[in-house]
Structure 1
C-alpha cells in the first residue's frame, strides 16, 4: 500500500493541488473574519473563531473535499484517462484505496491549517472565543473532519463518473442546502450532509445559521456526537468498499 500511495504523491508534485490545499482554509478564515468585522459589533467580532468553524462546515469543507478528489481524477483524465493504470500489472482496488487515503490526508492537512487560522484569529482578537474555548474549537474541527470522511470516496467516484465541475457544484450545494436544512431538525441523522453541522452545535454553541444558541436549547445536547461518529464511520466504510470495488471494474471498459 505504501508504494501505491507514494506513486500518487509523486504524481501531484508541481500541480495546483498543493496550492489549492493551502488557499481554501485561509479563504474561509479571511471571509469569516471580514464578515464579523464588517458588523462593527464587538460581541460579533468576539465570535470570529466560532464563525470560522461555522463557515467551514457550511461550505468550505465540502468544497475542499470535492476539489481534492476532482483535481486528482482530472490529473488522470487529462493524461491517459486511466489507461496507464489499467495497463499496469497492479491491484486496482489497492490503487483506488491509496487515492482515498491521499485525499483524506489532504483534508486532514486542510483541517490542521484551519486550526492554525482559528488560533491566530483568537490571538489577534485578544480574547478567547466568545462561546467556546480554543480547545473546544480544535476538537470541533477534528470531529467535523472525521464525520465528513464519507464525502471522500463519494467525490472520487462522482468525479470519475462525471467531471470536476459537477462534483464541486453538487457536493457543495447539497451540503449548503440539505445540510443546513436538516442539521437543526430531529431527522438530522438521515442526511449525511447534516452530520458535521450537527456535531459542531453543542461544541461551539452556535446554530448552523450563525446565531448563538440559548443555554437551554436542545441542539446543545452532546448525545448527537457519538451517533454522528458511528454513522459516519459505518457510511465511510461502506462507501469506500463500494468505490474500491467499482474502480476494479474499470479494467473491463
Structure 2
C-alpha cells in the first residue's frame, strides 16, 4: 500500500495538479469575503468566516474532490491508459485504495488551508456579536471533511467510467442542488450530499442558504452530528470497497 501511494505521489510531482488544487480554498475564501462585502451590510461582512465555511460546503469541497479524482484518472489515461498499472504484478484493489488515500490527502491539505484562511479572516475582519468561536468554525471544517469522504471513491469510479467533465459537473451540481435542498429537511440523512451541509449548521449558526439561523431553531440541534458521522463513515467504507473491486475488474478488459 505504501509503495502504491508513493508511486501515485511521484506521478503528480511534476504536474500542476498540486498547485492548482491547493488554490481552491483561497479562491473559495476570496469569493465568499467578496460576496459579503458586496452587501455593504456590516453585520453580513462580520460573518465572513462563517460564510466561507458555507461556500466551502455548498460548492468548493465537492469541486476539490471531483477535480482531484478526474485529474488523476486523466493523467493515467493520457499516459498509458492504465496499461502500466495492469501490467504490474500488484494488487489492483490496494492500488485503487492508495489513490483514494492520495485524494483524501489533498482534501486534508485543502481543509488545513481553509482553516488558515478562516483564522486570517477572523484577525482582519471584526466579528459580529452573533459570530461563533473560531474553534467552532474549525470543528465545522473537520466534520465536513469526514462527512464528505464518501465522495472520494465515488468520484474516482465515476471519472473512470465517464470522464473528467461529467464527474466535475455531476458532483458539484448534485451537491449544490440536492445537498442545499435536503440539508434543512427531516430527510437530510437519506441524501449523502446533505450530510456535510447539515453538520455545519449547529456550529456556524448558518442555514445552508447562508442566512443566520434564529435562536432555538431546530436546525441548531447537535444531535445530527453523531448520526451524520456514523452513516458517512459506513458509506465511505462501502463505496471504497466497491470502487476497489470495480478497479480490479479492468484487469480482464
Q: Which range, TM-score by smaller chain?
A: over 0.9
Summarize the alignment of residues 53-92 of structure 1 with structure 2, pairs less than 5 Å apart.
Answer: 53-92=53-92
Q: Secondary structure at the match of 2:206?
A: coil
Aligned position for 1:93: 93
Aligned position for 1:41: 41
Summarize the alignment of residues 1-253 of structure 1 with structure 2, pairs less than 5 Å apart.
Answer: 1-127=1-127, 130-253=130-253
Q: Secondary structure at the match of 1:206?
A: coil
How far 1:126 sits from its partner (Å)? 3.6
Residue 49 of structure 1 contacts residue 129 of structure 1 at CA under 8 Å; is this kept in 2? Answer: no
User: What are the ranges of 5 or more consecutive residues in structure 2 without an aligned counterpart?
Assistant: none
Q: Secondary structure at the match of 2:173?
A: helix
**1:123–1:130 Cα change, 3 Å:** farther
> Which runs of 4 or more aligned residues in structure 1 lie more than 6 Å from their structure 2 counterparts after TM superposition?
none
- Looking at structure 1, the residues matched to 22 and 15 of structure 2 have their Cα atoms a distance apart, in angstroms, of 13
Residue 46 of structure 1 contacts residue 127 of structure 1 at CA under 8 Å; is this kept in 2? Answer: yes
Q: Secondary structure at the match of 2:209?
A: coil
Residue 128 of structure 1 contacts residue 134 of structure 1 at CA under 8 Å; is this kept in 2? Answer: no
Q: Secondary structure at the match of 2:185?
A: coil
* TM-score where L is the length of structure 1: 0.98
**1:250–1:238 Cα change, 3 Å:** same
- Looking at structure 1, the residues matched to 83 and 138 of structure 2 have their Cα atoms a distance apart, in angstroms, of 42
- Looking at structure 1, the residues matched to 93 and 127 of structure 2 have their Cα atoms a distance apart, in angstroms, of 49
What's the Cα RMSD here? 1.0
How far 1:131 sits from its partner (Å)? 2.4
- Looking at structure 2, the residues matched to 209 and 100 of structure 1 have their Cα atoms a distance apart, in angstroms, of 30
